[in-house]
């Protein structure tokens, strides 16, 4: 199997680029509720499945996508701020998302094995970004995070992953991306990186395969088994 051959080549693995929401934190439930409530404040319906389909976009891109698709026009700067500010308020008022089961053990093992850890996220949520370094001390470092604040286009554009390649100095073949969302997979694949998907959300595996994932698994443990060939 082509994927197995490629995964067996992970002897040259030097870094893993992690997506954050749905990969490091079990945060997508909170994001979904927050987005739905924010759109509802304008009388607009943003169904749960659509939140998951659009996961990875920056906040403004999410609002723009919705306006184009549902209302057939661009959102104004005021509308983007109105909705995104509310989304952030709703999100921050909720209980803090917990780490995905097994993720800390994986990060610790990678660190022991000398494999670099980078985070590449479409999020700009201050609390989550700040929490990363304090929740995973010595494992996640501020200078190894590419967030929505660093990019112009964001996922599904390859920009965020290309930026992580440039900043880290690794070549695509030395890196593995771990994603959970279709647009994140598209972004990583367009940057030329092998992409493993953990399906922690509500979408069918088929949607993740269709977005170009090289492998789709259910749990972090399976990721660990694939990387370390156990």
- Footprint of Mg ion on this chain (CB under 5 A)? 19, 21-22, 180-181
Which lies closer to Mg ion via its Cβ, residue 4 or residue 153?
153
Degrees, nearest 5: CA angle 179-182-187: 70
CB 49 to Mg ion: min, Å:
15
CB 13 to Mg ion: min, Å:
21
Gap between the Cα atoms of 226 and 230, Å rounded: 7
CB 19 to Mg ion: min, Å:
4
Contact 197, 185 (CB under 8 A): yes
Which residue is at the shortest CB distance from Mg ion? 22
CB 161 to Mg ion: min, Å:
13
Which lies closer to Mg ion via its Cβ, residue 151 or residue 181?
181
Closest to 82 in 3D by CA, of 130, 133, 39: 39
Which lies closer to Mg ion via its Cβ, residue 36 or residue 180?
180
Q: Can you read off the two tokens belonging to residue 171?
A: 């070549």
Gap between the Cα atoms of 196 and 208, Å rounded: 10
CB 16 to Mg ion: min, Å:
14
Gap between the Cα atoms of 25 and 19, Å rounded: 9
Contact 173, 47 (CB under 8 A): no
Which lies closer to Mg ion via its Cβ, residue 78 or residue 206?
206
Which lies closer to Mg ion via its Cβ, residue 175 or residue 177?
177
- Residue for token digits 């000398």? 114
């Amino acid at each position: 199997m082509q994927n197995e051959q490629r995964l067996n080549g992970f002897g040259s693995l030097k870094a893993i680029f992690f997506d954050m929401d749905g990969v490091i934190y079990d945060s997508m439930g909170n994001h979904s509720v927050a987005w739905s409530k924010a759109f509802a404040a304008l009388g607009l319906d943003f169904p749960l499945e659509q939140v998951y389909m659009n996961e990875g976009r920056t906040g403004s891109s999410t609002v723009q996508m919705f306006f184009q698709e549902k209302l057939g026009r661009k959102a104004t700067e005021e509308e983007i701020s109105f909705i995104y500010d509310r989304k952030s308020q709703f999100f921050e008022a909720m209980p803090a998302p917990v780490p995905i089961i097994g993720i800390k053990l994986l990060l610790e093992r990678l660190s022991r094995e000398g494999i670099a850890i980078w985070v590449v996220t479409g999020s700009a949520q201050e609390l989550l970004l700040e929490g990363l370094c304090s929740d995973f001390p010595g494992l996640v470092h501020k200078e190894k995070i590419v967030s929505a604040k660093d990019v112009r286009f964001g996922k599904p554009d390859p920009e965020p992953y290309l930026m992580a390649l440039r900043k880290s100095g690794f070549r695509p073949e030395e890196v593995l991306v771990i994603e959970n969302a279709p647009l994140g997979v598209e972004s990583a694949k367009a940057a030329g990186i092998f992409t493993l998907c953990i399906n922690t959300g509500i979408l069918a595996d088929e949607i993740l395969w269709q977005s170009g994932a090289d492998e789709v698994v259910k749990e972090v443990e399976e990721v660990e088994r694939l990387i370390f060939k156990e």
